[in-house]
A = this chain, B = another copy of it.
Amino acid sequence: MAEALARLEVDDLQQSLREIQVLLAKPERSSALRARLDALHAADIAYILEALPLEERLAVWNLVKADRDGEILLEVSEAVRESLIASMDSAELVAAAETLQADELADIAADLPPAVMEDVVQSLPAQERERLRAALSYPEGSVGSLMDFDHVAVREDVTLEAATRFLRRLDELPDHTDQLFVVDRVQRLKGSLPLARLIVSDLHLGVAGVMVRDSMKFYAQDSAEDAASAFERYDLVSAPVVDANDTLIGRLTVNALVDYIRQRNAESRLAEAGLREEEDVFAPVLESFKNRWAWLAINLVTAFIASRVIGLFEGSIERLVALAALMPIVAGVGGNSGNQTITMIVRALALGQIQGGYWRALLRKEIGLALLNGVIWGCLLGAVAYTLYGNVALGGVMALAMVLTLVLAAVMGVAIPWLRSRFGRDPAVGSSVLITACTDSGGFFIFLGLATLFLV
């Protein structure tokens, strides 16, 4: 039972990590290290494995009791899981996988070698096998892929007393049981019975009279994103998952959704910086290269395009070299401003705050803001350019270019997420790269074009 293992606050956890590092350096103390690990919660061992470089990580992993391998593999990040699985042979993997429940197994199935999965599936009892098949059949990001099968269901036509007697026969209720699901005789969901209500109610009443009828339920094919939003809005702890016939098939818990949100947040954040997936900090150079090269290549292409735009105006730069020094300011400030706009809009879109009719109002506001910023910063930069190079016309061109580039940034900052959401794409992915590409090339073109028209 979980309570036998102490739960640690972050400070204590980092203290544990340091002690384990000390023990690792002394091979003769491996039995002390083993005892230390046995006393730790699986989630804490996972934390420690994540924080150790590969060699130390595998040393610790080999000291962990084999019967805990499964739950720990479940807790570590995908990148670290791969490194651990690579160090295990088939027999160890099968043994670890067999300690897991169907929904947990589904979570790590993709990382296990196919032969191991086959062995594990063979060894499962029929009901678990069916559940595993079901869990694997739902696409990533669906409610079905996040649900578990740890719910407790009671029939609507019994008394609370009978329900309580039934519960007593279970040794302990599963984690996160804040409510029982109420079903009819063919397992169709009828409502829910919160434990907090069961406990304060007269046991002679019937379940049907005490249960909550319009409790929130989800379909297995619902999007996990929408479910997370509903859990947040209504402060849910658990909710039933049903199929198209309203038959109860599983349960969604707040913790599964918290993990999901954290994971999604991390991924989109990494994607914005040009990392394809979560990276093991201590991954070998080649692994990291694979994770990062694609976005660098895209960046190279956009930088090349911007460079060719400058190439168009080489004649002007030759005649007035100050242009070369000033042009990155225009492009840089435009990029920053465009990123502000697009970040705010992508976020508002994700929260459902922008509906069809309001795009135009939004565009007007952003253009207004760009004009205001353009006049303020443009005049300032124009003055700086004049001070540096003593050329009034250059100052004027600088100011005008700033205004136009900021308007371009505002228009693209609204247009890119609008277009992407219209065509059903995720407006967040690569938004920063796209807007920067526009403001770089656009900013260079506007500034150098104006300079060519008015100065040289």
Contact with B along A184-220 (1 / 0, CB 8 A): 0000000000011111110000000000111110100
User: How far is it, in angstroms, between the C-alpha of A311 and the C-alpha of B327 when the chains are bound?
Assistant: 11
Contact A285:B232 (CB < 8 A) given known A337-B296, A347-B269: no
> Chain A, 289-310, contact with B by CB distance < 8 Å: what is the 0/1 string?
1001101100110111011101
Q: Is A139 an interface residue (CB 8 A)?
A: no
Shortest A138–chain B CB gap in Å is: 17
Q: Which of B215, B226, B272, B303 contacts A332 (CB 8 A)?
A: B303
Contact across chains for B343 and A270 when beta carbons are under 8 A apart = yes
- Interface flag for A26 (CB, 8 Å): no
Of A45-53, A111-119, A127-135, A240-248, which binds chain B?
A45-53
Q: In chain A, residues 75-105, which have Cβ atoms closer than 8 Å to a Cβ of chain B?
A: none
Stretch in contact with the other chain, from A30-38, A59-67, A251-259: A251-259
Q: From known contacts A353-B51, A362-B281, infer whether A9 and B273 are also in contact, taking CB-CB under 8 Å.
A: no
**Which of the four size classes fits the interface of chain A?**
35 or more
Question: Is A455 close to B, CB under 8 A?
Answer: no
Contact (Cβ within 8 A) A164 B199? yes
Known: A321-B317, A355-B18. A289 touches B369 (CB 8 A): yes
Name which residue of chain B comes closest to A298, CB basis: B336
A6: chain B residues within 8 A (beta carbon): 214
Report whether A377 and B300 are in contact in the complex, using a CB–CB cutoff of 8 Å. Answer: yes
Contacts of A339 in B (CB 8 A): 273-274
Q: What residues on B are CB-neighbors of A333 within 8 Å?
A: 296, 299-300, 303
CA distance A213 to B18 in the complex (A): 27
Q: A237–B237 contact, CB under 8 A?
A: yes
The complex places the Cα of A163 from the Cα of B12 at a distance, in Å, of 34
Q: Given the known inter-chain contacts A41-B234, A51-B352, A265-B265, please indicate yes or no for A361 contacting B282, CB distance below 8 A.
A: yes
Contact B200 A365 (CB under 8 A): no
Taken together as a complex, chains A and B put the C-alpha atoms of A258 and B260 apart, in Å, by: 12
Q: Mark A249-287, 1 if CB is under 8 A from B, else 0.
A: 000001100110110011001101111000101111110
Residues of chain B within 8 A (CB-CB) of A21 are 355, 357
Tell me if A172 and B197 are in contact (CB < 8 A). yes
Cα separation A14 to B349 with both chains bound (whole Å) = 12
Task: Assess whether A369 is in contact with B310, with CB atoms less than 8 Å apart.
Answer: no
Asked if A372 is an interface residue, CB under 8 A from chain B, the answer is yes
Q: How far is the CB of A4 from chain B (nearest CB, A)?
A: 9
User: A328 contacts which chain B residues (CB < 8 A)?
Assistant: 303, 306-307, 310, 328, 331, 440, 444
The yes or no answer to A326 lying at the interface (CB within 8 A) is: yes
Interface residue from B216, B259, B281 paired with A353 (Cβ < 8 Å): B281
Contact A295 B369 (CB under 8 A): no
> Nearest B residue to A297 by beta-carbon distance?
B377
User: Does A392 lie at the interface of the complex (its beta carbon under 8 Å from any beta carbon of B)?
Assistant: no
| Interface membership of A394, Cβ < 8 A | no
Whether the Cβ atoms of A177 and B200 lie closer than 8 Å is no
Q: Does A176 contact B (CB under 8 A)?
A: yes
- A: residues with CB less than 8 A from B are 2-3, 6-11, 13-14, 17-18, 21, 41, 43-44, 47, 50-51, 53, 164, 167-168, 170-178, 195-201, 212-216, 218, 222, 225-226, 229-235, 237, 254-255, 258-259, 261-262, 265-266, 269-270, 272-275, 279, 281-286, 288-289, 292-293, 295-296, 299-300, 302-304, 306-308, 310-311, 314, 317-318, 321-329, 331-333, 336-337, 339-340, 342-345, 347-348, 351-355, 357-358, 361-362, 365, 368-369, 372-373, 377, 380-381, 384, 388, 432, 440, 444
A-B contact pairs, 30 of them (CB 8 A): A3-B213, A3-B215, A10-B229, A167-B200, A168-B201, A172-B197, A178-B195, A195-B195, A198-B199, A237-B254, A254-B255, A254-B258, A258-B261, A265-B265, A281-B348, A281-B358, A281-B362, A282-B362, A286-B372, A289-B372, A292-B369, A292-B373, A295-B336, A296-B373, A303-B329, A308-B325, A310-B324, A318-B318, A328-B331, A332-B440
Q: A296-B373, A311-B388, A323-B324 are in contact. List 5 more A-B contacts (CB 8 A).
A: A8-B230, A275-B340, A285-B372, A300-B329, A310-B328
